[in-house]
Amino acid sequence: MRKTSFIVADAGLTEVNVTRWHQGELSADQDRIAEETPIALIYNGISHVVMLATPQDLEDFALGFSLSEGILQDKSEFYGIEIIRQEQGIELHLEVATECFVKLKERRRNLAGRTGCGLCGAESLEQALPLPRKPALQASIHAVPGASFQAAFHAIKPLQALQLATGATHACAWVTADGEAQLVREDVGRHNAMDKLIGALAKLPPQNNGFVLTSSRASYEMVQKTAAAGYSILAAISAPTGLAVRMAEAYGVTLVGFLRDNQYVIYTHPQRIKN
């Protein structure tokens, strides 16, 4: 029996020897698979969380996670990062503002010792599904043409390098109002891809007139992260959940689902989209 062997091609994927069956015939071949690695986020020397994510664009991931989870309120509170690769995974050592670190320690203290079957350690509905940390987003000054969603649907596919290579990753993209996919980030987890995009966008001048596109379904955390980053439109190639729709309504986010060739569905705040 041939032993399976692995060759790390780059940070995001691995080449593996496989046996392929096709039309009744077996043959030796190689395949490329997306990586999924334990990544520890450590703030000012204190470990906070371990995530499973594709190990590329790690600084974007660390910054975006910190912003979307409310650990940081602004990029200026992020002072630096050291990436330490180990056999078991990767440690991201972040230096953040003291005020943010104090609040994070208090949050950790409040979570300690809970015994309920919790969502992210929450022991009550209010903690699991909090009200928006910020006021509901106001209507954008400029409405996005509906044709831009169709343009983005076609534009994002060739930009998903990991997905094209492995067939296993999600993508999130920042799309301009005219449908140009300006920035794309990928990961095996849709929420990780969103955090990577948020982190990458935080390094650029403010982006207002456009929308976030995700190749996945629109779950509630995708809406939360979109709103936390201050973006007013989230478009998903797949379906939204009921909770995502209710949250989008409460947060003031325009939620678009089932974005396919020649179709999409607007679930909330349709005033931001024009024919």
Give yes or no for a contact between 39 and 89, defined as CB atoms under 8 angstroms apart. yes
pLDDT band of residue 42 (cuts 50, 70, 90) is very high
Kindly report the average pLDDT of the chain as a whole number.
88
Residue 120 scores a pLDDT above 90? no
Catalytic residues: 117
Which domains, from first to last, does the chain contain? 1-34 (no CATH), 37-128 (3.10.20.10), 144-274 (3.40.140.10)
1/191 Cα distance (integer angstroms):
39
Q: What burial letters (b/e) apply to 179-195, b meaning 16+ CB within 10 Å?
A: bebebbbbbbbbbbbbb
The whole-number pLDDT of residue 7 equals 47
Inter-CA distances, 241 with 126, 160, 187, 192, 272, Å: 19, 24, 21, 18, 21
Range 35-57 average pLDDT: 95
**How large a percentage of the chain has pLDDT more than 70?**
83
Secondary structure in 3-state letters for the chain: CCCCCEEECCCCEEEEEEEEEECCEEEEEEEEEECCEEEEEEECCEEEEEEEECCCCHHHHHHHHHHHCCCCCCHHHEEEEEEEECCCCEEEEEEECHHHHHHHHHHHHHHCCCCCCCCCCCCCHHHHCCCCCCCCCCCCCCCEEHHHHHHHHHHHHHHCHHHHHHCCCEEEEEEECCCCEEEEEEECCHHHHHHHHHHHHHCCCCCCCEEEEECCCECHHHHHHHHHCCCCEEEECCCECHHHHHHHHHHCCEEEEEEECCEEEECCCHHHEEC
Residue 198 CB neighbours (<10 A) = 27
Q: Which whole number is the average pLDDT over 125-135?
A: 56
- pLDDT (tens digit, 9 = 90+) per residue, 148-193? 999 999 999 999 999 999 999 999 999 999 999 999 999 999 999 9
**In the prediction, which pLDDT does 10 show?**
54
Residue 126 has a pLDDT of: 56
pLDDT, mean of residues 16-44: 95
What values do phi and psi take at 142, rounded to 5? Answer: -105, 130
pLDDT on residue 66: 96
Q: Mean per-residue pLDDT for 75-89?
A: 95
Per-residue pLDDT, 208: 74
- pLDDT attached to residue 136: 61
Q: Note the pLDDT tens digit of each residue in 221-272.
A: 999 999 999 999 999 999 999 999 999 999 999 999 999 999 999 999 999 9
Task: Please indicate whether residue 151 or residue 142 has the higher confidence score (pLDDT).
Answer: 151
* pLDDT confidence band for 5 (50 / 70 / 90): very low
Contact call for residues 37 and 192 (beta carbons, < 8 A)? no
| For range 200-206, the mean pLDDT | 94
Q: How confident is the model over 96-105, as pLDDT tens digits? A: 999 999 999 8
Decide if pLDDT at 133 tops 60.
Answer: no
pLDDT at position 140? 57
pLDDT at 127 over 70: no
